[in-house]
Amino acid sequence: MRLQISQPKWKLIMLGSMKKFNYKSILSIIFLTAAINAQYLHVVGKEVFDNNGEKIILKGMGLGGWLVPEGYMLGTWGSPTSIRNRIVDLIGEDSTITFYEKFEKNYVAEKDIAQLAEWGFNSVRLPFHYKTLSPAYRSYNEKGFSVIDSVIAWCSRSEIYLILDMHVAPGSQSGDENADGDEGAQLWDSAENQEWAVDIWGEIARRYATEKWIGGYDLLNEPVLYNGGSRVRNLQRQMRNRIRKYDLNHTLFVNGNMWSRAFEGLGPALDQNMIWAFHYYSWMVFNRVNQNTIQYLINFRNLTNRPLWLGEAGENSNEWFMEVTNLMEKNDIGWAWWNYKKIGTITGPVSSPSDSVYQEITRYWNGDGGKPSTETAQLGLNNMVENLELENCEIKKGVIASLLDDNYGIKNLPFKDLYIPGNINIVDYDLGANGLAYFDFDYIDNRPNGGGLKTWNNGWAYRNDGVDIQVSSNTKISKYHVSHTESGEFLKYTINVLKNDTYDFSIISSSESVEASVALYDNQNQPIISEKKLPITQDYDLWVETSLGEAELQKGINEIRLSIIRGGANLKMLKISSNSSRKGEVIFSHKVYPNPTSKTSIINFESLSVNNVKIKVYNLKGQLVWSDNTRAVVGDNIYQFKFKDRFGKDLSNGIYFIMIEDGKKVIKEKITFIK
């Protein structure tokens, strides 16, 4: 059988005559293989099933930059080898070895895998460099395999599939930096390099054939061989044959040619238990996200009767993320996003902070500064490594929601808990798609007419939407502000109004030369505050507060839309206050329950501001038996009193008085305690 492939049409030509088969033997083999595969992630026809036999759409995250460091993720450039060489140049070979040990330890740990599973991802794709496992032909590195062993254990405990990805093959499969291709794509010029790659997969299969939470083997990331589809197929077929010598269980992910995009010469299917892997980026597709961009792949799936899997996509706006994952899932295509963690990113779910000392190193590498001293380089690299730990990173909630939240494109949801009265940072608008949580004219990099990067965020800070957010030079008020505002854009905020009241609104803004204007609306499109002009401050770094007026708001959840009537101003903060809050009122409602109680009293109060609150308990004799100071938060506060005295001894039955003091008033409640 031979496949002639063109995009988007496909022809299947049968060559030769059918021979006689022992159908009973064939059926026995098929049923036996299916029974074995059913214990693992496996394929039946064009569908993928989990180890319980349930149909599954893989929703995964790539762990790039860890075992295969990439320059752009580190604030610089270069292949894994060139990055290492530059580190050696700064701190020497011995210190470089120590650095990479810490780097690998902190970049991904069990807590990272557990966090991904908690968010709702069901798989991770682990790119590896062939040298991690095999530093020389037919020589294996147990330390490298121990890393894989650890990830398997982490994934098993979190019940999340691990897909192993040969991201860098011996000699490089593409000549690109991310494939360590400084010397070109020498995989294709060397029979030894090809056998080396095949041999590594055989060793992986031998070691991990019975690992339940290995989802499969991604055979060759983004191969590039012009007019070489059949050779790309043949190498992956050799990999398949070597793997199946040891492992009949795990799914194979077979990549297309030309950065996993072209499937001419790749068919027919190499294996019963395999998936076609492709990649999808705006600079590959050069079109809006739509069915036509993947129809040739759907045709190939139908022709070969094997599933599709999007092995990489990303590096775009949240809107694009939502559109791509929706398109894939609509077509029963699983996906693995790129990428989990980077330094100073907005496009991944986890951003490691960029340290100022480390930036001296990247400026040197990027040609913008002098060579740092060994001591400075050592400090900067150490700071960078420490910042890679998950607890030191910033979580990008919008990225996660755009990938996993089914409501993301349907309704706006709170980004943070916001309260009135209070100050609201303009950048803390709701989560959700363009047109729902916000509206911005430039919100996606889809390149429908080709060309280079189409900027969707002119500030590249804080969030990954079309809203242009910049780091402020004046951070005393707040760290970020919204810039590049245009007439007709808006931002929505879901806010908890703490009490019925009349509230005063003001906004902090700056404008170099344009008299901009804004207005506020509710969720019924009724005006809360009519259009108000904002002053020209003659400098975008000079911020002024402008009164917008007053409005009555009802207690409870309210939605406020900040509309840009005339653009041109930078916006920093919305300030909302009332007479009560300005007078310093803290506690304005409370309850103590249950009453009577046999164990614990719940002290529940609402606060208009962050403030110190004293809670005291007296007996009938007026004796203080217990006291505590607590820091009230804006909104609802809950405190438990367990009827023990200041020394931890149980109190006796009787009547007690609970006093709540906020510095302005004292609340007194009588409660009966009966054991």
SS (H, E, C) 605-618: EEECCCEEEEEEEE
Domain that holds residue 34: 30-66+108-339
- On whether residue 304 sits in a domain, the answer given is yes
- Nearest Cα to 40, choosing from 206, 163, 221? 163
If asked whether residues 142 and 262 sit together in one domain, one would say: yes
User: Is residue 180 in a domain?
Assistant: yes
Same domain, 575 and 599: no
- Which of these ranges, 109-113, 126-130, 254-258, 607-611, has the smallest mean pLDDT? 607-611
Q: What is the pLDDT of residue 319?
A: 98
Provide the pLDDT for residue 472. Answer: 96
Among 55, 58, 85, 81, which Cα is nearest to 70's? 81
Which residues make Cβ contacts (< 8 Å) with residue 488, sequence separation at least 6? Answer: 439, 441, 564, 567
Per-residue model confidence as pLDDT tens digits over 481-501 = 999 999 999 999 999 999 999
Confidence at 450, pLDDT banded by 50, 70, 90: confident
Percent residues over pLDDT 70 in the chain = 95
Confidence band of 262 (pLDDT split at 50, 70, 90):
very high
Residue 654 · residue 671 · CB < 8 Å: no
HEC-encoded secondary structure of 109-156: CHHHHHHHHHHCCCEEEEEEEHHHHCCECCECCHHHHHHHHHHHHHHH
Specify if 531 maps to a domain.
yes
Q: For position 277, which CATH number holds?
A: 3.20.20.80
Residue 516: inside a domain: yes
Clarify whether residues 600 and 561 are in a common domain.
no
- 518 CB neighbour count, 10 Å cutoff: 25
Same domain flag for 136 and 205: yes
Residues 331 and 269 in one domain: yes
- Mean pLDDT across the stretch 222-245? 98
Nearest to 167 by CA among 84, 64, 251, 248: 64
What's 419's domain CATH number? 2.60.120.260
DSSP 653: S
Judge whether 239 lies within some domain.
yes
**Between 136 and 11, whose confidence is greater?**
136
Q: Are both 607 and 550 inside the same structural domain?
A: no
> According to the model, what pLDDT value does residue 34 have?
52
Same domain, 510 and 644: no
Q: What is the pLDDT of residue 35?
A: 54
Separation of alpha carbons 578 and 581, rounded Å: 5
Torsional class of 411: left (φ above 0), alpha (ψ -120 to 50), beta (otherwise): beta
- All residues at 6 or more sequence positions from 406 whose CB lies less than 8 Å from its CB, including other chains: none
Q: Work out the burial of residue 664: count CB atoms within 10 Å of its CB; fewer than 13 is exposed, 13-18 middle, 19 or more buried.
A: exposed
Cα–Cα distance between 508 and 251 in angstroms, integer? 56
**pLDDT by residue (tens digit) across 367-392?**
999 999 999 999 999 999 999 999 99
**One domain for residues 519 and 648:** no
Q: How far apart are CA 429 and CA 437, in angstroms?
A: 7
- Does the residue 48 lie in any domain? yes
Q: Considering its fold, how many domains does the chain have in total?
A: 3
Neighbouring-strand partners of residue 66: none
Burial of 194 (0-12, 13-18, 19+ CB in 10 A): buried
Question: How far is 576 from 26, CA to CA, in rounded Å?
Answer: 75
Closest by Cα among 253, 181, 269, 192 to 224: 181
Q: Which of 264, 278, 255, 273 is nearest to 328 (CA)?
A: 278
Task: Record the tokens describing residue 344, joined without a space.
Answer: 């100073």
Q: Is 153 exposed, middle or buried (0-12, 13-18, 19+ CB in 10 A)?
A: middle
Better-scored residue on pLDDT, 33 or 601 = 601
**ω before 421 within 30° of 0 (cis)?**
yes
- Regarding whether 116 and 45 lie in a shared domain, the answer is yes
> In which band, very low, low, confident or very high, does the pLDDT at 43 lie, cut at 50, 70 and 90?
very high
Residue 322 has pLDDT above 70, yes or no: yes
* For residue 429, pLDDT beyond 60: yes
Q: Report the SS3 class of residue 409.
A: coil
Tokens 């209070």 belong to 422
CA distance 91 to 96: 7
- Helix or strand (DSSP H, E) at 281: none
Is residue 76, in this structure, part of any structural domain at all? no
Q: What is the mean pLDDT of the chain?
A: 93
Q: Are 48 and 42 in contact (CB under 8 A)?
A: yes
Q: Are residues 187 and 295 in the same domain?
A: yes
Is 662 in the same domain as 600? yes
Q: Which helix (H) or strand (E) holds 524?
A: none
pLDDT of 590-606, one tens digit each?
Answer: 899 999 999 899 999 88
Q: Which of 385, 325, 315, 326 is nearest to 348 (CA)?
A: 315
pLDDT at residue 157 is higher than 60: yes
Between CA 353 and CA 343 the distance in angstroms is 6
The band of 665, judged by pLDDT with boundaries at 50, 70 and 90, is confident
Any domain includes 509? yes
Q: Which stretch of 27-41, 162-176, 352-366 has the lowest confidence by average pLDDT?
A: 27-41
pLDDT tens digit sequence for 71-128: 999 999 999 999 999 999 999 999 999 999 999 999 999 999 999 999 999 999 999 9
> CA-CA distance, 467 to 463, in Å (whole number)?
8
The confidence score (pLDDT) of residue 23 equals 47
Asked whether residue 36 carries a pLDDT value surpassing 60, the answer given is no
Sequence-distant (≥ 6) Cβ neighbours of residue 2 within 8 angstroms: 13, 15
Are residues 145 and 276 both part of a single domain? Answer: yes
Q: Considering only 1-10, 46-55, 323-332, 358-367, which range has the smallest mean pLDDT?
A: 1-10
Residue 524 has pLDDT above 90, yes or no: yes
Residue 483's identity, in one-letter code, is S
- Say how many CA atoms lie within 13 Å of 100 toward its Cβ: 21
Residue 16 is predicted with a pLDDT of: 35
Q: Cα separation of 264 and 257, whole Å?
A: 8
Residues with Cβ within 8 Å of residue 67, at least 6 apart in sequence: 104, 126, 127, 128, 129, 132, 147, 167
Q: Where a domain ends, among 311, 339, 367?
A: 339
d(CA 179, CA 312): 15
Q: Which of 553, 581, 609 is the last residue of a domain?
A: 581
Would you say 593 and 605 are in contact if contact means Cβ atoms under 8 Å apart?
A: no
Boundary (domain end) residue, out of 339, 367, 395:
339
Give the pTM: 0.89
- If DSSP codes are grouped into helix, strand and coil, which group holds residue 43? strand
Contact 560, 438 (CB under 8 A): no
Neighbours of 330 (CB within 10 A): 9
- Output the domain CATH number for residue 627: 2.60.40.3080
- The CA distances from residue 251 to 124, 129, 267, 273, in Å, are 14, 20, 17, 5
C-alpha–C-alpha distance, residues 488 and 264, integer Å? 47
3-state SS of 196-258? HHHHHHHHHHHHHCCCCCEEEEECCCCCCCCCCHHHHHHHHHHHHHHHHHHCCCCEEEEECHH
Give me the amino acid identity at 147.
Answer: V
Per-residue pLDDT tens digits for 187-212: 999 999 999 999 999 999 999 999 99
Q: Look at 51-65, 253-267, 361-375, 627-641 and tell me which has the smallest mean pLDDT.
A: 627-641
Residue 163: count of CB within 10 angstroms of its CB = 29
Q: What is the DSSP letter of 511?
A: -
Q: How many CB atoms lie within 10 A of CB 333?
A: 24
Query: What does the pLDDT read at residue 634?
Result: 86
Which tens digit of pLDDT belongs to each residue from 330-344?
Answer: 999 999 999 999 999
Closest-CA residue to 222 (of 198, 252, 190, 256): 256
Q: Is the pLDDT of residue 31 over 70?
A: no
